[in-house]
Amino acid sequence: MCAFHCAVLYGPEGAPTQIELYEEPYPSVMAWPEIWVPVEDKGPIIIERFRKKPDGYLASLGCESVESVYRQIEERLRDAGMIDEYFSLDYDVKRRPNEPWPASALWVVAFPVVGGSEGHYIHVEALWSPDGPSDLYGKRRLLMLGKTFQGWDHAWKMAMFIAQLLEDASWGHVEEEPCPVCEGVSQGHTCCPPKE
């Protein structure tokens, strides 16, 4: 799963007609603004967790919920001072707070669109591949939605910031087996023998 830079193509009524994904910024469309602002490093966003078993193999504990990933992204956006209007979960996702992150999605993308009457929206969507020739665009699902009144460049900056957070996310966060005595992480506790 990756997050990509993307360009949105608009039809005559201003509605998005196509989303094109690029692994590199598309140089002839626009200048890409600098996206990093100095903020406290909180480490990568955690999407999937594993536990190391006594035999050395990893056991998946599953994916975080969409709400958990949203909270991690929202915290970093707030720390960076990027939210001026709102950034929230989609209404359907709010109704299912424990829904796991869509790990089966081909891509999770973040992109801005022009608002219908004012401002700009930032979409975070999961995209699945088309089912065949009759399905041109595949399936998509809105996960998170933001709004800004700071203009197009700020909307792109937010979208690229989110895309970079998702690109750098941890898909393999490994948790140590809890200590049977104190229930803390085994290594480094005085009640547990040191691991060799």
Confidence class of residue 98 from pLDDT cuts 50, 70 and 90?
confident
pLDDT, mean over the chain: 74
Residue 63 lies in a domain: yes
For the cut 50, the answer to whether the pLDDT of residue 10 exceeds it is no
In which band, very low, low, confident or very high, does the pLDDT at 139 lie, cut at 50, 70 and 90? confident
Residue 189 counted as domain residue: no
Strand, coil or helix: what is 66? Answer: helix
Which pLDDT value is given to residue 137?
65
Give me the number of domains the chain comprises. Answer: 1
User: How much is the average pLDDT of 154-160?
Assistant: 94
**Domain range for 78:** 5-27+45-175
157 burial type by CB count under 10 A (0-12 exposed, 13-18 middle, 19+ buried): buried
Confidence check: pLDDT of 2 > 80: no
Tell me if 139 is assigned to some domain: yes
* 120-138 mean pLDDT: 77
Residue 190 is assigned to a structural domain of this protein: no
